[in-house]
Amino acid sequence: MKPKYLYIDDENPDALKSIVNGFNDVGEIEVELVDLSKLRDFESLKQYICEQNPDGLILDLRLDGDGQNRLSFPATTFAQDLRTLAVSGDVKFFPLILCSTSPKMRATYDVDKTSHDLFDYKFEKSDTPEWKKFSIKLKSIANSYKWLNERKRTVEEILNREDWQQFDSRIFEKFIDKEQDLKVNDIAQFVIKELFNHPGILIKERTVAARLGVDIDASGNGWNRLKKEFLEDCMYNGAFGNGWERWWFDRIASKFQSISKGEKLQNLNASQRVEILSKLGFTLISAKPIEPYCKSSEFWTVCEYYKTPLDPLEGFKIYESTELKPWQEPKFLSFSAELERKGRDRGLRPHPSELQNVKDLKEMLSK
């Protein structure tokens, strides 16, 4: 059965049809707009949601904006109350999804970090929304919540991996601490925001390609074959895994070592890595440094703007709104992207500690 999300937004219902239809047309989840004309106050809306018992809730950030069905409270206040109800056991935990237009998101949500752990996912109401992508994620979140609500799950079950204790013990210490009674939304937050959204023990496809030295775009089917035939068992298939394609890096590293006569990825450049992979019969093109400023092909990350391989030594750490844990790796911007101030509209900018390095490099290259 498709997970059912209720959608709360103060805008004119006619204007919201495109969003509701956007999701329903994809068919992964069912979205129903809540009729706010009869549910204007906090308590009656809350009661309605509890009675409906949805698989998830989509909330517009500024419910107290200037829409036709304007409410007197923002999404964060409402979400906070629902979370409190769930913690006290009055309702089950269900996913809370935030949506807003990009300027509103930046102006309010991005600034107020206290509300970030209320929502499991946020999407922007843009002119060309990626309904398919959003739907897959929302479906995965709802299904994983349901699975987590059934009974208390172990770390092994959540990750679908038995040997998790080999990782930095700080990563999962809150799961071991019996005093910390982790709730379903805590687990969701941890997996999606701490494990998926930062490179670390799990990495994204493009980072996998960078570490294997492969140019994804140029390799085409060769890359797809490599993923399917060689890397399949390195893919994360634990909770929320259907919504986010992530890969266990330790498995990729040892898999590579098993075919490289013990040579480790980090000691080879892109063409050497690809040469070894090609011996397995895959047609792959090795990635090249981002021209004209990058020189190293000992790739380990990607430029967050170009999404192409980058040696972190040649990149600049980007500013991130949350402080990284020691076991999370920073994300980087290449000098080419920074020079042209690419990605500023998406909030990509160098970390303040890198500004002097950017300046020094500019000066050196201008001599």
Using CB under 8 A as the criterion, which residues of the chain lie in contact with other proteins when the complex forms? 165-170, 264, 266-267, 289, 293-296, 298, 311, 313-314, 324, 326-330, 335, 357, 360-361, 364-365
CB of 341 to other proteins, least distance (A): 19
Dist. CA 239–CA 48, nearest whole Å? 29
Tally DSSP H helices, then E strands, for the chain. Answer: 15, 11
CB of 305 to other proteins, least distance (A): 18
State the DSSP code for 303: B
Dist. CA 228–CA 222, nearest whole Å? 10
The strand pair at 30-33 and 247-248 is best described as: unpaired
Nearer to other proteins by C-beta: 29 or 202?
A: 202
CB of 151 to other proteins, least distance (A): 29
CB of 208 to other proteins, least distance (A): 18
Sequence-distant (≥ 6) Cβ neighbours of residue 110 within 8 angstroms: 321, 347
Nearer to other proteins by C-beta: 155 or 361?
A: 361
Cα first-last separation, the chain: 64
CB of 116 to other proteins, least distance (A): 21
Dist. CA 5–CA 26, nearest whole Å? 14
Nearer to other proteins by C-beta: 81 or 329?
A: 329
Nearer to other proteins by C-beta: 73 or 306?
A: 306
Nearer to other proteins by C-beta: 149 or 169?
A: 169
How many Cβ atoms are within 10 Å of 268's Cβ, its own excluded?
19
Q: Using an 8 Å Cβ cutoff, are 294 and 270 in contact?
A: no
Nearer to other proteins by C-beta: 304 or 314?
A: 314
CB of 333 to other proteins, least distance (A): 14
- Beta-bridged to residue 121, according to DSSP, are 97
Q: What is the dihedral of CA 244, 249, 254, 255, to 10 degrees?
A: 30
